Amino acid sequence: MSRPRKVYVKSFGCQMNVYDSHRMADTLAPAGYAEAALPEDADLVILNTCHIREKAAEKVYSEIGRIRVMKEAAAAEGRRMLIAVAGCVAQAKGEEIIRRAGVVDLVVGSQNYHRLPELVARAIGGGKIVDTEFPVEDKFAVLAAPRRESIRRRGVTSFVTVQEGCDKFCTFCVVPYTRGAEVSRPVAQIVTEVERLAEGGVREITLIGQNVNAYHGAGEDGADWTLGRLLRRLAQVPGIDRLRYTTSHPRDMANDLIAAHAELPELMPYVHLPVQSGSNRILATMNRRHTRKDYFTVIRRLRDARSDLALSSDFIVGFPGETEADFRDTLALVEDVGFAGAFSFMYSPRPGTPAAEMADQVPQEEKAERLQRLQALITRQQRAFNARHAGCELDILLEKPGKLPGQLVGKSPYLQAVQVMAPHSAIGSIARVTITEVGSNSLFGALADDRYAPQLAAAGA
């Protein structure tokens, strides 16, 4: 009997790529591909790439170099390994990838991975395959549903893409070009997927989209539903205890979404709301279509709805034309808001975007110096946010084994990682935990309810 085929999918970049990678593996399963734990064991290695910054794209080529060595080792054993490049670099670069890295067999764009079984079969037949056309069919309708055993293996939290693409055209961003126009999945399709995940043991769903709060999918009644309405519907799915959504745009923070934070106990009090800059002048040249005042207004309304709401954000430093005064506006905005965490990046010119052509590009050293100052401030705020929870009781969704024997790691409502001694059987439950210690990357706690006391005593913890 021939050995079953194996696929290894490696994700780069955002959560949407993690979700896409799972769906690629699910789609290849009916074609006989099991998931490999290591790339060297695989017959097909898929690199699911990110093009958001130059560094992210360059990483792909160094990874291809590493996989090439594995491909050669497999060939020496008489085994054929195919290398596929998927995702946003594939979408943006297409054939150039095969020209630059001849070892690659298949290039598949971010909208075409539902065609993988057919494309892989063609690549096995010989020749180099490139498929980066935006398809007419609905990728999500064609994709295989997540399989029960895959759901169990992937854990008690899951991403679900509800919206893809973007029509905002911020002047620095490649997403509208690599992911295409904004499309929302119909509510019924999402509900079916979430029900299936819940049946497989998933307790927390994070709805994802490049502009998730612009969601406007066809509802169960035929009308267009907002993200707020979709969240209210998903809160009713049996077994789903927690809901989150990311990434939002400040302009699309609609009233009913803000109201959902006041109404739904399942909706976690943590919102990732990128602002990019605190300078109105820079926000305008970024084409963000909001001012710093608009941002403050949205935050005030969110905090009015849910007083304990924690916030994170994305920042770009050194956007073309950014002066020291503009940058100080960003620092002042961070001071005023008080974030639980944030991502910050040096501006990276992306070919084909308007900002790459702008005059007044900021020198690299200046970008690096500003990034350091901003990150120091954000780190201080993150530590202060975590320190505030010392001695508090929090509800922790226990997700997986922790670093030490007998330990589990879970997440607080505010997305903090919490390590706690608890029996393995508690994975998937929400436990009341007293925070005993605050570390630099995670919190430590002790179970505050005695539900698991007998098992802990038996384990000698």
Residues at the interface with ligand SF4 (CB under 6 A) = 166, 168-170, 173, 175-176, 210-211, 249
Shortest distance, CB of residue 313 to ligand SAM, whole angstroms?
Answer: 8
Please identify, using beta-carbon distances, which residue of 146 and 165 lies nearer to ligand SAM. Answer: 165
Chain positions 307 to 366 lying near ligand SAM, rule: CB under 6 A, are 314, 316, 345, 347-348, 350
Query: Which residues, other chains included, contact 127 with Cβ-Cβ below 8 Å and sequence gap of 6+?
Result: none
Rounded to the nearest whole angstrom, what is the least distance from the CB of residue 211 to ligand SF4 in the complex? 5
169 contact, one of ligand SAM, ligand SF4, none, CB 5-8 Å limit per kind = ligand SF4
| DSSP per position, 159-206 | EEE-EE--S---TT--HHHHT-S-EE--HHHHHHHHHHHHHTT--EEE
Q: Is 53 in the site for ligand SAM (CB under 6 A)?
A: yes
Site for ligand SAM contains 163 (CB under 6 A): no
Provide CB contacts within 8 A for 72, sequence distance 6+.
none
Closest CB to ligand SF4 among residues 162, 443: 162
Which two tokens mark 324?
């020291």
Q: How far is the CB of 142 from ligand SAM (least distance, A)?
A: 25
**How many binding residues for ligand SAM (CB under 6 A)?**
18
Residue 347 near which of ligand SAM, ligand SF4, none (CB within 5-8 Å, type-dependent): ligand SAM
Residue type for 370, please?
R
CA–CA separation, 265 vs 195, rounded Å? 19
To the nearest 10°, report the CA torsion of 153, 157, 161, 163.
Answer: 180
Alpha-carbon distances, residue 359 vs 320, 322, 326, 342, 362 (angstroms): 7, 11, 16, 28, 9
How would DSSP label each residue in 72-91? Answer: HHHHHTT---EEEEEHHHHH
CA pair distance 193, 27, nearest whole angstrom: 14
- Within 32-51, the residues that bind ligand SAM by CB under 6 A are none
Task: Provide, rounded to whole angstroms, the least separation between the CB of residue 239 and ligand SAM.
Answer: 29
Q: How far is CA 402 from CA 15, 123, 458, in A?
A: 22, 41, 19
What whole-number distance in Å separates Cα of residue 44 and Cα of residue 12? 17
Site string for ligand SAM, 176-215 (x = CB under 6 A): ----------------------------------xx----
Name residues contacting ligand SAM, limited to 248-307 (CB under 6 A). 249, 274, 276
CB of 274 to ligand SAM, least distance (A): 3
19 binds, among ligand SAM, ligand SF4, none (CB under 5 to 8 A by kind): none
Nearer to ligand SAM, 210 or 386 (CB): 210
Q: Rounded to whole angstroms, how far apart are CA atoms 113 and 48? A: 10
> What whole-number distance in Å separates Cα of residue 234 and Cα of residue 257?
14
Location of structure tokens 């005993």? 436
Q: Which does 345 bind (CB under 5 to 8 A by kind): ligand SF4, ligand SAM, none?
A: ligand SAM
How near is the Cβ of 165 to ligand SF4 at its closest, in Å? 9
Query: At closest approach, how far in Å is the CB of 173 from ligand SF4?
Result: 3
Element (H, E) at 130: strand 129-131
350 binds, among ligand SF4, ligand SAM, none (CB under 5 to 8 A by kind): ligand SAM
Using DSSP's 3-state secondary structure scheme, residue 384 falls into helix
Minimal distance in Å, beta carbon 262 to ligand SAM? 24
Q: Which of 24, 29, 46, 52 is close enough to bind ligand SAM by CB under 6 A?
A: 52
Query: Three-state DSSP class for 49?
Result: strand
Binding site for ligand SAM (CB under 6 A): 14, 52-53, 172-173, 175, 210-211, 247, 249, 274, 276, 314, 316, 345, 347-348, 350
